[in-house]
Amino acid sequence: MKLLAISLAALGLASAAAVTKRANYDNYKVYRVDVGEDSSKLSSIISKLQLSTWKGKPETSSVVDVVVPPASILDFEAGVNGLSTKVLHENLGASIAEEETFGVYASVDAAAAPNATWFNSYHSIADHFQWLKDLAAAYPSNAEIFVAGKSLEGRDIQGIHIWGSGGKGSQKGVVWHGTVHAREWITTMTVEYAAYQLLTSTNADDKAFKDKYDFYIIPIVNPDGFAYTQSSDRLWRKNRQTVSTSTCLGRDINRNWPNHWDQRGGASTSPCAEDYKGLAAGDAVENKVLKAHLDGIAAGKGVQLYMDIHSYSQLWMYPYGYTCTGTVPNSATYASLSRGAIAAVKAVHGTTFTQGPICSTIYQVSGSSVDYAAENAMATYSMTVELRDTGNYGFVLPANQILPSGEETWAGLAYLLKNM
């Protein structure tokens, strides 16, 4: 395999990742605002100026990251006067442009395995699909590509199945999902890094994991949304499904699972909201596919571990999301495993994660995959991770952090696989 980390623009090439008629974020700013004792102040200015937030809610969070267009900057700064603020992105458009210096991936030898230079840059969705196929083709005795189903727009929801000496399907399943939210590009790369390590690592423990579990890894579960972030709007989050009651598009795939879907406070009923839960439980096209695939594994050998990989905030969490008062069975074991995982993460690059139940650690989430996996698919363990960083870059994480994120997250995952 050959990978050249050079800009598409420098080559003058057209591709699926070429930027045309995209949402323009030039001179937008991203602010971190300490909410203070009067949450209504920040809530009011966000509502008045119709601003989007990356992280937190004024009503429930101590800090909120807010995206502000150039025309609203003066009004916003006046509106939050008296609150502590910090500028995270001085020019969001420039940050995005730097991040989108895509690597060019060329499959030149079908017998050779992809190498680690893949993790030096972000890539087009077409290259992601090809890279995963090349990885599986290089290890035919231990891996194959599967397609769980089709997205709304007809794209494959493609994954890689990895197994060991017992043969495929002989062990309990480990299921990892990435890119549920389209703009979380670092999750795609980090999930791919985990698959890469399972097949290429010479470490004895890493090699042994394949003999212990069957792995079903889907780096991009929201391919339509991901493609849209590369063609039209880098900060798109949801899928691309229409809503009969609105002109707004998309459902939040992680608010649409048929588990406490109608729980108040854990998702939005507004089709224009980024955490819109949909018109009915499980009515997102992608959710139907993902549910059927997970249910199939559960009905076979069972699910030992389900993990949904997100960004950002550096959190390692477990059920429940839908309630802050309920306690998951074997919560002490969950807490112990999570503490061990975040210690393993920190040992790699010094990155500090926080662990705990979803609802009390980040916010209430209803209709989530993690709760569904725990309560419906009966996974022995079900977790979610929020990767780098804590907000300095947020969703627009520089490419030089891809490999460190992969390395440290793999250390945490490996801890789980060895100790759960």
**Structural domain spans, the chain:** 29-100, 116-229+276-419
Torsion of CA 328, 333, 335, 340, to 10 degrees: -150
- For 205-242, the pLDDT digits (tens) are 999 999 999 999 999 999 999 999 999 999 999 999 99
Residues 272-313 have pLDDT tens digits of 999 999 999 999 999 999 999 999 999 999 999 999 999 999
Q: Is the pLDDT of residue 413 over 90?
A: yes
pLDDT, tens digit (0-9, with 9 covering 90-100), for 314-341: 999 999 999 999 999 999 999 999 999 9
Question: What's the fold here for domain 29-100?
Answer: Alpha-Beta Plaits (3.30.70)
Which of 106-110, 266-270, 353-357 is the least confident region?
A: 106-110
Placement of tokens 């499904």 in the chain: 241
Amino acid at 123: H
Catalytic residue list: 386
CATH code for 116-229+276-419?
3.40.630.10
- CB–CB of 394/318 below 8 Å? no
pLDDT value of residue 14: 33
Provide φ and ψ at 63, rounded to 5°: -130, 150
pLDDT for residue 59? 84
Q: How many residues does the chain have?
A: 420
Q: What is the predicted pLDDT for the residue at 395?
A: 97
Q: What is the pLDDT of residue 114?
A: 82
pLDDT above 70: percentage of residues in the chain: 94
H helices of 259-306, in order, are 285-299
Give the type of residue at 360.
S
pLDDT at residue number 111: 55
Statement: residue 9 has pLDDT above 50: no
Mean pLDDT of all residues belonging to the chain: 92
pLDDT band at 13, cuts 50/70/90?
very low
One fold for both 29-100 and 116-229+276-419?
Answer: no
Query: Helix crossing, 204-212 with 402-419: angle to 10°?
Result: 60
At 16-75, the pLDDT tens digits run: 333 346 899 999 999 999 998 889 999 999 999 999 999 988 888 899 999 999 999 999
Alpha carbons 337 and 270: distance in angstroms, whole number: 37
So what's the pLDDT on residue 360? 94
d(CA 320, CA 151): 28
pLDDT digits (tens, 9 = 90+) for 191-203: 999 999 999 999 9
| DSSP for residue 406 | H
Is 386:313 a contact under the CB 8 Å cutoff?
A: yes
Q: Give, in order, the Cα–Cα distances in Å from 210 to each of 131, 158, 161, 287, 377.
A: 20, 20, 10, 27, 22
- With 80 as the cut, is the pLDDT of residue 2 above it? no
Give the per-residue pLDDT at 38: 86
* Per-residue pLDDT band at 170 (split at 50, 70, 90): very high
* 80-138: pLDDT as tens digits: 999 999 999 999 999 999 888 888 787 645 556 788 899 999 999 999 999 999 999 99
Instruction: Give the model confidence (pLDDT) of 373-383 as tens digits.
Output: 999 999 999 99
The yes-or-no verdict on residue 260 having pLDDT over 80 is yes
Tell me, what amino acid is at 420? M
